[in-house]
Amino acid sequence: MTSLDQIIDDFSFLDEWEDRYRYVIELGKSLPEMPEALRTSENKVQGCASQVWLVTHTAGDPGNPVLTFEGESDAHIVRGLVAIALAIYSGKHASEIARLDALEVFGKIGLIEHLSAQRANGLRSMVRRIKSEAEVRLAA
C-alpha cells in the first residue's frame, strides 16, 4: 500500500484535476481485493452512495491496540478514497486514530472541494466509521 507521505508528495506534482483523479483511481487499483466473504452487511459502511466495506483488525495492547483496515468499494474513485483513508489510519494505535482528522488531510491535498456532495458525504461516513472503531477499542 502507498504511504500517506508518498500520496501527499505525488499530489503536489499533479497540477491537473484529471491527472489527480486518475491517480486516485490508480491508488484504488492497488488495494488488495477483499474476499467476497467479508463483503457483509456488518462490514458495509452506511451513508455511502457507492458500496463500501471496511474490516478492522486489532493487534497489541488491548487498552490501545494497533488497528489495521481492509477496504473495498464497487466504484473506482471511491476505492481510491478508501486507499487514501487506509493510508491515513491503518497501522496506528486506536488513540492516535481517534485524534486524527482525515478530512483535514483530504483538504490539504485539495480533494474535498473536488468531490461531489455524495462522495464527500460517503468519505465522511467512512472516516466516522474508522474513528468509531478506534473509540470502541479504547472503551473496551
Position 139 scores a pLDDT of 84
Position 119 scores a pLDDT of 86
Burial class (CB in 10 A: 0-12, 13-18, 19+), 18: exposed
Position 113 scores a pLDDT of 81
Query: How far apart (Å, rounded) are the C-alpha atoms in residues 64 and 96?
Result: 9
pLDDT tens profile 23-81: 999 999 999 999 999 999 999 999 878 899 999 999 988 889 999 999 999 999 999 99
C-alpha cell at 64: 490501545
pLDDT tens profile 99-128: 998 888 888 888 888 888 888 888 999 999
Task: List the catalytic residues.
Answer: 48
Query: How far apart (Å, rounded) are the C-alpha atoms in residues 58 and 13?
Result: 35
Query: How far apart (Å, rounded) are the C-alpha atoms in residues 131 and 84?
Result: 15
Position 27 scores a pLDDT of 95
